[in-house]
Amino acid sequence: MKIKRYITSIILGVLLLPHLYAQVDFNKTPDDDLGNVEDVFQEHFFEALKQKGIENYDRAIKALLKCIELDDSESVIYFELGKNYVQLKNFGLAEQALKKAVSKEPENEWYLDELYGVYYELNDFDKALKTVKQLVKFHPDYKEDLASLYFRNEKYKAALKVLDELDADYGISKSRDFIRNKIYNASGKEKNRIENLEERVENDPTNEANYLSLIYRYSEKGNTKKAYETAMSLLEKNPNSQLVHLALYKFYLDDNEPENAISSMKIVLKSTKIKPEAKAKVLNDFVKFVLKNPKYEDDLVEVTTAVALTEGWKSHVELAQYYLSKGNKTKALKHYQFAYENQNENFDVIKNILLLQIDLMKYTKVVSLCQETLETYPAQPILYLVNGVALNHLNNPKEAINTLETGIDYVIDNIKMEADFFKQLSIAYKLDNNITKSQAFSKKAEQLLKKY
């Protein structure tokens, strides 16, 4: 009796099904016990596949163990047994079964791959390393795993060698650079990291990302001179580079060259190639610079006017905070609203919009935004408080009372906010001509504030 060898792990049962049936002549009466054994073996095997298919792994294992009792020569039985143990998180028995399968068929990629997965689950990186070394010959994808395992086993030189080979064959990748940087961090081989980046710049002088990575590492190590030289080298190679100004503006600020710094920041903020997250950081630095050097405010206004409608929400938050620091609430509100259009579930943005709308007496808009936001944040007391304030100003005391009495239940360990709720309830009841309750809530607010 022979079972067809395993082809793929996913369609094992389907592939084996016709072969197993083909082994038996069901129209012939067996002339000894061999046919009966074969029939029983097949019944148990297909029962195991069925039980595994319905995720009844314990029963699948029992059926496979019965197969082994009848014939322990088939590697695929041990492979299936191992996979079922994996499903039950019994990695010890899974390892035993899969090692048995591999011993019977040492060159089976699928058996080795499953065993590799078990060692990974067991955090046995030494055995995982030995297994993946066998797998590399089947597919180059395993080489990246090999590098990662060398790293986990603190074999940094071997790991870097594998990464260098992969980079040479397939080019640089973020995933491999992530492993590479972990190796440099763990080994303290900062010199090797710098040398690798310098080599990349030399080998591919048109790749801006290589320059920026090198600039970052020089700057991180405090070698400002080399970082600046690298930035200028990139600018020389590519005078139209926009990315280089992500580094240059910092150097210009540090060297007290405001005109050059502003020029670089403008290039960054107007660029279509630079991500909004990076622009937000530059804009933050621009805002801080202008706060210290107000004479350059026109430059800030110029660049923000040019990019205001196209940038990400973080940039608008930076601008809103700048205008708040200058006391310009109208412009601050405008930029918070731009941010809200791009990020309408950011609670801090919503809260700042509502508070500014209260200050600017836009009460109808406050009520509208509160009602909309309460659907997403029904347990945020500030929404009920601000809504109550707006409703009082709109001379709608009954709704104000309702929202304030609902919202105060969400106030936890915040004496000041609780007092504010009582103040607004006092105002609402006074507007509703219930002077007794108005006075009662006013006294509650006073008592709380004495503790504050």
Dihedral through CA 100, CA 106, CA 109, CA 111, nearest 10? 0
pLDDT above 70 for 31: no
Nearest-angstrom CA–CA distance, 5 and 335: 66
Tell which residue, 414, 441, 424, has the closest CA to residue 389.
Answer: 424
For 57, the token pair is 């792994």
Nearest-angstrom CA–CA distance, 421 and 389: 9
For 350, the token pair is 């919503």
Q: What is the pLDDT of residues 324-377, one digit of tens each?
A: 988 999 999 998 998 898 888 899 999 999 999 999 999 999 999 999 999 999
Model pLDDT, residue 300: 82
Residue with tokens 């060898």: 5
Tell which residue, 426, 416, 409, 420, has the closest CA to residue 451.
Answer: 416
Q: What is the pLDDT of residues 179-192, one digit of tens each?
A: 999 999 999 888 99
Tell which residue, 96, 86, 78, 79, has the closest CA to residue 57.
Answer: 86
- For all residues of the chain together, what is the average pLDDT? 87
CA within 13 Å, CB half, 255: 14
Q: Which residues contact 211 (CB under 8 A, 6 or more apart)?
A: 201, 230, 231, 233, 234, 244
What is this structure's pTM? 0.60
Domains and CATH numbers, the chain: 1-133 (1.25.40.10), 379-452 (1.25.40)
Tell which residue, 126, 99, 94, has the closest CA to residue 112.
Answer: 99
Nearest-angstrom CA–CA distance, 156 and 381: 54
Q: What is the pLDDT of residues 264-295, one digit of tens each?
A: 988 998 888 888 788 888 888 888 888 888 89
Asked whether 375 and 369 are in contact (CB, 8 A), the reply is no
